């Protein structure tokens, strides 16, 4: 889907500049497509900047990263791309640093965790554009029927799942370790066990003792006891798990803000709590960010920087976040949202953001490691699977990719 919001190439005079932006679509229908968001924003910007035209192309998340990769390979890089990763382009020297585009004050307004995740060797190449965190969603009706309270520890989560299973709940805990987004579900669980993909010095530690313990617990105490539903985790994708929750068939699962709208539309009464950990609520939620990048190929650093200042104004950051149930990436917009009654539903996710941990998106190796996790991690908790063996294989994959 392409939205041409301005002329192609130069138009009107030699001093006019056309900036090309490729953006991802966050909408779930034509009615709320990101095309409408950018149309409104660009119209307002161009009205105040007669010498600059903005040409925006909007693609689905299925296509956008591939499309940008193809454009870059063909020597036709856009001026800006709002996509899912940045490290590979930065590593090849193709991107402007944020220092070349926006001021120190504007960079300092990025939420600390998100800004840090967009840096390589201290330089900001990926500018966070949209963010979310994860919480444990639970079905209030199913919990009330079983006389349960939301779990705070793994032991309590397993006990609640046992009770839900006894009540005939189809998915006491939905564990989506299928290829769609297994790397995210896995990371949230690894964090809850005190581990993660990266160790304390910033290198891969996928086969750490903490991670092995976590995956063994999942295999033995949840999957092995039939508490994760009829679909094997390695065959269950996030979208299917979300749909099952909205249908009232799931007692608990990890979710991000968009699940609120999906569940509410189906009349499901739900609550949200921090992910249970081995001994108490997990201190670090998983955070996710998408990135704005600026390619050097066409120049125009001054015009790109001015446009990005407008994109990252508090008004526009809030408008985008509210439209798509996402978290603001700037401190100014986050402060406003935290105090606004209209945004109360998002506050639990906002509260989790300052202590969230993001995947190692600053590593050029992460794309291949993430793909390997999606492909293999589900087998670790299967009846004949070995968490130790799978995590060791993934660690070797990560080391080789480095």
Q: What is the pLDDT of residues 181-225, one digit of tens each?
A: 899 999 999 999 999 999 988 899 999 999 999 999 999 999 999
Average per-residue pLDDT for the chain: 93
Q: Which of 8-17, 106-115, 222-231, 274-283 has the lowest mean pLDDT?
A: 8-17
Is the pLDDT reported for residue 137 higher than 70? yes
pLDDT at 14: 55
State pLDDT tens for residues 11-60: 344 578 999 999 999 987 788 899 999 999 999 999 999 899 999 999 99
Taking only the tens place, the pLDDT of each residue in 252-262 is: 999 999 899 89
| Lowest mean pLDDT segment, chosen from 10-19, 108-117, 123-132, 236-245 | 10-19
Q: Where are the beta strands (DSSP E) in 73-174?
A: 80-83, 119-120, 123-124, 127-133, 135-139, 171-173
pLDDT value of position 111: 94
Express as a percent the part of the chain with pLDDT over 70: 97
301 HSE (CA, 13 A, CB side): 11
Whether the per-residue pLDDT at 356 is higher than 80: the answer is yes
Place of tokens 């994760």: 228
Cα–chain center distance at 224:
29
Contacts of 335 (CB under 8 A, 6+ apart): none
For residue 8, pLDDT over 70 is answered with: no
pLDDT at 53: 96
**CB–CB of 7/18 below 8 Å?**
yes
Alpha carbon separation from 46 to 18, 38, 103, 257, 310 (Å, rounded): 11, 12, 21, 32, 11
Instruction: Sort residue 77 into left (φ over 0), alpha (ψ -120 to 50) or beta.
Output: beta
pLDDT of residue 304: 97
Inform me whether the pLDDT recorded for 289 exceeds 80: yes
Q: In a 3-state reduction of DSSP, which class is residue 244?
A: helix
Q: Hey, is 296 helix, strand or coil?
A: coil
pLDDT on residue 11: 38
Say if residues 188 and 283 touch (Cβ distance below 8 Å): no
Q: Is 89 helix (H, G, I), strand (E, B) or coil?
A: helix
pLDDT at res. 32: 83
Could you read off the pLDDT of 363-375 as tens digits, one per residue? 999 989 999 999 9
Alpha carbons 185 and 390: distance in angstroms, whole number: 16
**CA-to-CA dists, residue 216 to 219, 221, 274, 293, 350, angstroms:** 5, 8, 21, 39, 31
33 phi/psi in degrees, rounded to 5 = -60, 145
Measured distance CA(141)–CA(308) in Å, rounded: 45
Share of the chain above pLDDT 90, in %: 86
Task: Look up the pTM and report it.
Answer: 0.86
In the chain, the domains with their CATH numbers are: 17-132+289-355 (3.40.190.10), 135-284+365-401 (3.40.190.10)
What's the mean pLDDT in 136-165?
Answer: 98
Closest CA to 19 of 81, 74, 75, 107: 81
Give residue 2's pLDDT.
39
Q: Mind listing the pLDDT tens digit for each residue in 386-402?
A: 999 999 999 999 999 98
What sign for the dihedral angle of Cα 184, 365, 117, 387? positive
Backbone phi and psi for residue 121, each to the nearest 5 degrees, phi listed first: 50, 40
> How far from the centroid of its chain's Cα atoms is residue 75's Cα?
29
What is the mean predicted confidence (pLDDT) over 287-292?
94
- Strand partners of residue 137: 253, 272
Exposure string (b/e) for 363-385, b if CB count within 10 Å is 16 or more?
bbbbbebbebbbebbbbbbbeeb
> Rounded to a whole number, what is the distance in angstroms from the first to the last CA of the chain?
35
Q: Cα dihedral sign for 235, 236, 239, 243?
A: positive
In this model, does residue 83 exceed pLDDT 50? yes
Query: 70 with 78: CB under 8 angstroms?
Result: no
Predicted local distance difference test score (pLDDT) of residue 9: 37
Q: How does DSSP classify residue 274?
A: P
């Amino acid at each position: 889907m392409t939205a041409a919001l301005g002329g192609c190439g130069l138009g009107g005079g030699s001093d006019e500049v056309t900036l090309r932006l490729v953006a991802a679509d966050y909408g779930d229908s034509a009615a709320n497509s990101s095309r409408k968001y950018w149309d409104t924003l660009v119209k307002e910007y161009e009205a105040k900047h007669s010498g600059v035209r903005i040409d925006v192309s909007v693609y689905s998340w299925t296509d956008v990263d591939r499309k940008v990769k193809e454009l870059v390979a063909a020597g036709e890089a856009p001026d800006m791309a709002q996509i899912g990763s940045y490290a590979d382009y930065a590593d090849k020297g193709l991107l402007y640093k944020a220092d070349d585009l926006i001021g120190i004050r504007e960079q300092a307004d990025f939420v600390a965790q998100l800004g840090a995740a967009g840096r390589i060797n201290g330089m900001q190449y990926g500018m966070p554009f949209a963010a979310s965190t994860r919480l444990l969603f639970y079905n209030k009706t199913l919990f009330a029927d079983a006389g349960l309270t939301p779990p705070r520890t793994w032991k309590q989560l397993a006990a609640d799942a046992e009770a839900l299973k006894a009540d005939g709940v189809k998915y006491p805990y939905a564990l989506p370790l299928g290829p769609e987004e297994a790397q995210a579900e896995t990371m949230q669980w690894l964090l809850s066990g005190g581990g993660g993909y990266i160790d304390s010095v910033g290198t891969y530690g996928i086969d750490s003792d903490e991670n092995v313990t976590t995956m063994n617990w999942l295999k033995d105490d949840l999957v092995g006891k039939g508490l994760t539903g009829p679909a094997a985790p390695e065959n269950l994708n996030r979208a299917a798990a979300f749909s099952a929750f909205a249908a009232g068939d799931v007692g608990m699962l990890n979710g991000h803000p968009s699940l609120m709208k999906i569940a509410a539309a189906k009349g499901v009464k739900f609550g949200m709590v921090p992910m249970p950990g081995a001994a108490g609520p997990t201190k670090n939620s998983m955070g996710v960010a998408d990135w704005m990048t600026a390619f050097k190929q066409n120049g125009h650093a001054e015009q790109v920087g001015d446009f990005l200042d407008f994109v990252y104004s508090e008004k526009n950051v809030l408008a985008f976040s509210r439209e798509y149930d996402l978290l603001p990436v700037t401190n100014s917009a986050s402060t406003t949202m935290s105090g606004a009654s209209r945004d109360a539903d998002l506050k639990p996710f906002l509260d989790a953001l300052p202590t969230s941990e993001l995947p190692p998106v600053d590593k050029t190796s992460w794309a291949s490691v993430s793909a390997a996790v999606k492909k293999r991690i589900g087998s670790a908790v299967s009846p004949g699977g070995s968490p130790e063996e799978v995590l060791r294989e993934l660690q070797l994959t990560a080391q080789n990719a480095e």
